[in-house]
Structure 1
Amino acid sequence: MTRLFGRFLAAAFVVLAFALPAAAQTKQEAENMLYLDTAYGRVVIKLRPDLAPKHVARIKELTRTGFYNGVPFHRVIAGFMAQTGDPTGTGTGGSGQKLAAEFSSTPFTRGVVGMARASSPDSADSQFFIMFDSTPSLNGQYTVVGQVVSGMEFVDKIKKGSGASGTVSNPDKIVKMQVAADAK
């Protein structure tokens, strides 16, 4: 009986040893995932703090305050990207906190999430964009903060703008954005 109990304890220890790191990893993954809900469905974005720790921290901070809820996709260019993050909807607003560039060698391909900025590399604030397609001219010029891991079909449905600027009249909006670790 003692031998059987000893084997049971050993097996339980092995299971626990593997389960705890997996649970910690799942929590860490949830801390670096965003749920961006649109009228079409949920877009899941895996954040990349390994590439842009300050930008990722700021996006999570703003998300947790509800900053992005109801914010329009004010600039959407077919075959290029959908931009949001300006509560004024004009493309000139933000949170009021500029961030220094955190450029990387990660290419701007379909589903990549990057930080919008003005002409200064150190002018990113709260606005970000999701790529519809690859655009090599952005590589090394804008900060990559994440990658859409599911729901890209919902990004594709976002109302497109007109003209070269992609300004959208009566734009689609972010219904709700939350850090996955906080989701209920």
Structure 2
Amino acid sequence: MRNLALALILLASPAAATTLELDITGEAQGTIVIDLYDEVAPQHVERIAQLAENGDYNDVVFHRVIDGFMAQTGDVEFGRLGQDMRYAGRGGSDMPDLPAEFSDLSFERGIVGMARSSDPDSANSQFFIMFAPVPQLNGDYTVVGQVIDGMDVVDAIKRGTGRNGAVIGQPDYITAARVIRDE
């Protein structure tokens, strides 16, 4: 059903396509390629693309990684390599938070979603990549894309500990983020 809904969305509008490439260093080594869903969450995709193009995601860690659930990154304020990791996950960019762009797409393995607080309109710069399906997130978080290459790199990201999945010691991090826009 999710694939059919996405196919109908994509067929309805031959709009620009945006791809995000993340070079990862740490226990995981390699590149994650993400197809961003411009038609599903245009404001969120534009925010991620803008931050990546500005270099804001470079040297940002995966600060929350829960085995069987997801790997979270994107805290461009407090989540940089070398910063005090106790604050990672609490920050965002200097741009305003985004209004939710919920869809009927399911949070399956490889789906990328925007992190937020309990306020549905609080997404800013942080995002997460799913290790496995978690239907409880469906309709409550904005889906922004899907990993199309490099899921083996995602699977190798250093896991956190405890209920919140905080990464202890040296976290894996994004060394470079690139955006490819097909008009």
Task: Give the alignment's TM-score, normalised by structure 2.
Answer: 0.81
1:44 partnered with 2:33 = yes
Aligned-pair CA distance for 1:180: 2.3
2:48 to 56, 59, 62: 59
1:74 partnered with 2:63 = yes
1:121 partnered with 2:110 = no
Take 2:181 and 2:47, find their aligned partners in 1: how far apart are those partners?
16
Secondary structure class of the residue paired with 1:180: strand
Bigger drift between 136-145 and 81-90 goes to: 81-90
Take 1:141 and 1:78, find their aligned partners in 2: how far apart are those partners?
21
Q: Tell me which residue corresponds to 2:104.
A: 105
Higher helix share: 1
Take 2:16 and 2:91, find their aligned partners in 1: how far apart are those partners?
31
Secondary structure class of the residue paired with 1:63: helix
Take 2:133 and 2:175, find their aligned partners in 1: how far apart are those partners?
26
Report 1:25-36 matches (<5 A): 28-29=16-17, 32-36=18-22
> Greater CA radius of gyration, 1 or 2?
1
Q: Deviations over 1:26-45 (max 9, x none)?
A: x944xx00111112111100
CA contact (8 A) 2:100 2:120 kept: yes
Secondary structure class of the residue paired with 1:175: strand
Higher strand share: 2
Take 1:72 and 1:111, find their aligned partners in 2: how far apart are those partners?
18
Q: Tell me which residue corresponds to 2:171.
A: 171
Q: Deviations over 1:127-157 (max 9, x none)?
A: 0000000000000000000000000000010
Q: Tell me which residue corresponds to 2:10.
A: none
Instruction: Note closer, same or farther for the CA distance 1:164–1:109 as it changes in structure 2 (3 Å cut).
Output: same
Take 1:104 and 1:44, find their aligned partners in 2: how far apart are those partners?
22
CA contact (8 A) 2:19 2:36 kept: yes
Q: Tell me which residue corresponds to 1:180.
A: 180
Take 2:30 and 2:61, find their aligned partners in 1: how far apart are those partners?
15
Aligned-pair CA distance for 1:181: 4.2
CA contact (8 A) 2:73 2:126 kept: yes
Secondary structure class of the residue paired with 1:174: strand
Aligned-pair CA distance for 1:106: 0.1
Q: Tell me which residue corresponds to 1:137.
A: 136
Q: Which amino acid aligns with 2:122?
A: S
Take 2:141 and 2:72, find their aligned partners in 1: how far apart are those partners?
13
CA contact (8 A) 2:108 2:130 kept: yes
User: In angstroms, what is the RMSD of aligned CA positions?
Assistant: 1.5
Aligned-pair CA distance for 1:49: 1.0
Gaps of 5+ in 2: 1-13, 80-87
Give the 4+ runs in structure 1 shifted more than 4 A.
none
Q: Give the total of aligned pairs.
A: 155
